[in-house]
Chains A and B, each alone.
Chain A
């Protein structure tokens, strides 16, 4: 497999990026760490003639307890023990991404906007051509749910649920200026595996902002996958919250790796506020959560199993909140 030629652009500021993206409308991809994009390009998945590399843009760098630059390397975030202590789900999630080698290139923004995955999509050109191309690349049908004209590719980032659980916001820049909104609104819950974000054409992810109010709040991110490294999530559950004794004061729960977009389940967790979470009540809640998640058969583990694991992982993540984040 080889990379087809593309034109590489190296803008040095957010403003330059925005102006380039306007000029190259629809004909480019952003290149962050490249650990996801370049393998996909080698498989000839949705090639664009231009790549806009973001590594020379200083504003996209840096991390602190307040802010994660979109181009900050996952390995650098991972090494910040203070950050992991302040936001346990982030510390858990960043450690669980792929492998140390991938994390040394992979970025915060790249993980948030990682391409959705499906075993009919993440295949070579030869493989896809021999079966018949799918909706998500070069074709017009879905091999997972053939009766639907919709893409079921799975959202496979680890950071998104963790950031949702700690109630982080994203900052984006585009032709119409900058916007800042909660991470969960970055993903288009009404979309599908292709139309998956609410970003406007050409909009650039600049940074993640971490709120003070959730700092040092107990929580966890738990990742289901076949092997303890390397693999993408087959399910990722993040929880963050505060307890008033045994009673729930505030609870945020987000799930990724199971459907086309990561989601936070405020309506369900808000119902727990003020309740004492006995083991039975927690088990019942976890089952309710399990019922509301619908994985399809497009990853390695069977969907029934992934669904069943929702309740186990939800229960365990909330138990970590109850335990005050103690491991």
Chain B
């Protein structure tokens, strides 16, 4: 018999449509707002019209007396502070002593219908003392008259300060052949997911509380509900229906979720809270408005000698993920290049504005923009091609960074080579006519944070349960949160691959804390790596049982069995074998339904200094993007025509999902470059709507040429790494550097709107610096 090697994978690497896709595109998928409970009430939130005010007294009597009102809630009823990070609990479900921004929740009602609820809100009367507002983080770095939170550093509004120094930065700058400095300024941007937040809560006479919520982190929500409401976790059931996008905006336990549960407890009736679009903007937790100051020292051959980085980060009213943000704005500079000396000072400052938080490529995006612009400048000064400069500085595989990050797999140099070749870089860079340009930007991101947010109790970061009964359908349970990124499909895909069965046999169950084993959620680009490994471990256990069944039926020793399509057969004689169903039924004879549990925990890593864990990850993704832009030099309007996106996510598991993530990331990154911004006048958000918050339109999308060049990661599931956040980062500097190639102006104030393009060109002309003959 001819011996042909079977393809290593049957499903992995293919374009696999989402398992829930048919339900979503026909409108049958169940989102939170689709759920209706008998006797359900409408919950509504009263938001602060004051940026900063002490709440002296409140009169809710008229609201309570209104017919159709079932409950009116103010802050003192559930004053326990919470927050996503255990070390910075500074949020309350409803403001207790102070309102801290325009939009802060100061009261809530549950009523029979929407109009009654809104009328009740209008009848609540507060007496307040206005307090100073703080719009600019620079005004909060010293002692202030009225700190926004008591926990601010030394009477200031500084929420977190990070100071790190590795190697000897001053010595490196002293011996450097050249250095550059970039001051970056970045407006805040927000996630703008399709589905606004929504929650339903119901307290039942059996003493239990059930909460359905559009969340990325059902487990953290579960914990926070328990802490604030004072109910043991086992009496609370958290269910995550389908979620219409998150991008980090649903990765904190959010106040409205707790308020909704509190209203259900108060009224004994189910309560639904829908957050409308304007309130989504006030809930925010988007990317921090940031100012950074980046110095890079380089030797005459173009080797990076040192980074010296400062960041001033506008946190808004709460901590949220801010401590992580403060670290990330420094330490995520530690790849994709070797940096022998590194100094960082980062400060995140509270302001009386909607809270900032985690947003796709959290902490890495603004930092990366400034670094990549600086490297572009250095390459120009050294007359080196930007690709060559980056290539010669690339971190090698299996190395350790100066701050003790463990780097295992990196295909960064392959990314560079692919982007350079496919984009036609060598015949375009500095050679296109005035107004047209190409630019290179690179990226580096964690593939799952090595540290879980909670350390007690010690437990795996992801667990997957599988059960298969005589019908041959495989139920997969895990608290991993599919938010549209395709993690349900990934789970099914891995199980089907390992067992050799059709994808349709695997039924991924809705997240339900009563039955789903804990996975800590969809954030930090961790799900593919961590849940993927847990799923693989569970499926391999199940496979062992099925192979034992096949072995008992055929007499072929387990170690001689191969996994085929719905069949297990002898490696020596492929005609001898048993089907999946035969093997299953044989294996079930003594234990009934087959069950398996797989778990993943990342290995110990990182140094022993303070903050050493921040940014450590079991693997990292790498990117090299080229953008080609065309600028209308009369209007400053520009269009990114093509983006060549070379990305290292290790082995591609679901090509369709990875490509979708990259295209979506390019769109989201372009938004931050071209026009998205939370526009404030003082502390007032001027554009809380999708009409005035300028997400790019389809006509503005470039052609995205996706180049997936990653080698297998040694620890990722089947060699895979993340592809959900890293793909965003390189988009921004690629466009920024392409604008420079087009018109000869460095843009470091984002978004780069057409008026800024024109001003930049004007200034260059005033300084008599012609560019491409203009």
| A binding-site residues for B, Cβ under 8 Å | 1-2, 119, 123-124, 126-127, 129-131, 224, 226-231, 300-302, 304-305, 308-309, 312
Is B115 part of the binding interface, using a Cβ–Cβ cutoff of 8 Å?
yes
A312 to B758, alpha carbons, bound, how many Å?
12
> Closest chain B residue to A2 by CB distance?
B114
In the complex, chain A residues whose CB is within 8 Å of the CB of B4: none
Taking a contact as CB atoms under 8 Å apart, the answer to whether A312 and B114 are in contact is no
Question: Which of A131, A228, A301 contacts B697, CB < 8 Å?
Answer: A228
Taking a contact as CB atoms under 8 Å apart, the answer to whether A230 and B691 are in contact is yes
A230 to B684, alpha carbons, bound, how many Å?
24
* 0/1 string, B679-721, CB within 8 A of A gives 1: 0000010111001101011011000000000000000000000
A302 to B754, alpha carbons, bound, how many Å?
10
> Closest chain A residue to B684 by CB distance?
A131
Taking a contact as CB atoms under 8 Å apart, the answer to whether B115 and A2 are in contact is yes
In the complex, chain A residues whose CB is within 8 Å of the CB of B611: none
Taking a contact as CB atoms under 8 Å apart, the answer to whether A127 and B688 are in contact is yes
Question: Which of B47, B115, B687, B700 contacts A228, CB < 8 Å?
Answer: B700
Is B5 part of the binding interface, using a Cβ–Cβ cutoff of 8 Å?
no
> Closest chain A residue to B690 by CB distance?
A230
A28 to B181, alpha carbons, bound, how many Å?
61
Taking a contact as CB atoms under 8 Å apart, the answer to whether B49 and A129 are in contact is yes
B747 nearest CB across to chain A (Å): 16
Taking a contact as CB atoms under 8 Å apart, the answer to whether B686 and A227 are in contact is no
Query: How many residues in B have their beta carbons less than 8 Å from beta carbons of A?
Result: 28
Q: Given A127-B688, A300-B687, does the pair A226, B675 have CB atoms closer than 8 Å?
A: yes
Q: Given A228-B697, A229-B697, does the pair A126, B755 have CB atoms closer than 8 Å?
A: no
10 pairs of residues in contact across A and B, judged by CB atoms under 8 Å: A1-B276, A2-B115, A124-B688, A130-B49, A300-B692, A300-B694, A304-B755, A305-B758, A308-B758, A312-B635
Is B634 part of the binding interface, using a Cβ–Cβ cutoff of 8 Å?
yes
In the complex, chain A residues whose CB is within 8 Å of the CB of B687: 119, 300
A301 to B635, alpha carbons, bound, how many Å?
12
In the complex, chain A residues whose CB is within 8 Å of the CB of B648: none
A126 nearest CB across to chain B (Å): 6
Taking a contact as CB atoms under 8 Å apart, the answer to whether A302 and B694 are in contact is no
In the complex, chain B residues whose CB is within 8 Å of the CB of A300: 687, 692, 694
Is B547 part of the binding interface, using a Cβ–Cβ cutoff of 8 Å?
no
A36 nearest CB across to chain B (Å): 11
> Closest chain B residue to A302 by CB distance?
B755
The majority secondary structure among interface residues of chain A is loop
A9 to B397, alpha carbons, bound, how many Å?
73
| B binding-site residues for A, Cβ under 8 Å | 47, 49-50, 102, 114-115, 118, 276, 278, 634-636, 675, 684, 686-688, 691-692, 694, 696-697, 699-700, 753-755, 758
> Closest chain A residue to B121 by CB distance?
A126
A227 to B675, alpha carbons, bound, how many Å?
9
In the complex, chain B residues whose CB is within 8 Å of the CB of A227: 675, 694, 696-697, 699-700
> Closest chain B residue to A297 by CB distance?
B681
A136 to B709, alpha carbons, bound, how many Å?
58
Q: Given A126-B278, A227-B700, does the pair A312, B634 have CB atoms closer than 8 Å?
A: yes
Question: Which of A130, A226, A312 contacts B694, CB < 8 Å?
Answer: A226
A108 to B701, alpha carbons, bound, how many Å?
30
Q: Which 9 A-B pairs have the closest CB atoms?
A: A130-B49, A305-B755, A228-B699, A227-B697, A312-B634, A226-B694, A229-B697, A2-B114, A302-B755
Taking a contact as CB atoms under 8 Å apart, the answer to whether A126 and B49 are in contact is yes
> Closest chain A residue to B636 by CB distance?
A305
In the complex, chain B residues whose CB is within 8 Å of the CB of A129: 49
In the complex, chain B residues whose CB is within 8 Å of the CB of A127: 278, 688
In the complex, chain B residues whose CB is within 8 Å of the CB of A308: 758
A131 to B102, alpha carbons, bound, how many Å?
10
> Closest chain B residue to A226 by CB distance?
B694
In the complex, chain A residues whose CB is within 8 Å of the CB of B691: 230-231
Question: Which of B47, B115, B636 contacts A126, CB < 8 Å?
Answer: B47
A130 to B103, alpha carbons, bound, how many Å?
10
A224 to B688, alpha carbons, bound, how many Å?
22
| Most central of A126, A229, A305, A309 by chain B CB within 10 Å | A126
In the complex, chain B residues whose CB is within 8 Å of the CB of A301: 753-755
In the complex, chain A residues whose CB is within 8 Å of the CB of B47: 126
In the complex, chain B residues whose CB is within 8 Å of the CB of A226: 675, 694, 753
> Closest chain B residue to A227 by CB distance?
B697
Q: Given A226-B675, A229-B699, does the pair A305, B754 have CB atoms closer than 8 Å?
A: yes
A302 to B102, alpha carbons, bound, how many Å?
24
A312 to B699, alpha carbons, bound, how many Å?
22
> Closest chain A residue to B632 by CB distance?
A312
A305 nearest CB across to chain B (Å): 4
In the complex, chain A residues whose CB is within 8 Å of the CB of B697: 227-230
A300 to B700, alpha carbons, bound, how many Å?
18
> Closest chain A residue to B637 by CB distance?
A224
B739 nearest CB across to chain A (Å): 17
In the complex, chain A residues whose CB is within 8 Å of the CB of B699: 227-229
In the complex, chain B residues whose CB is within 8 Å of the CB of A228: 697, 699-700
> Closest chain B residue to A39 by CB distance?
B691
In the complex, chain B residues whose CB is within 8 Å of the CB of A304: 755
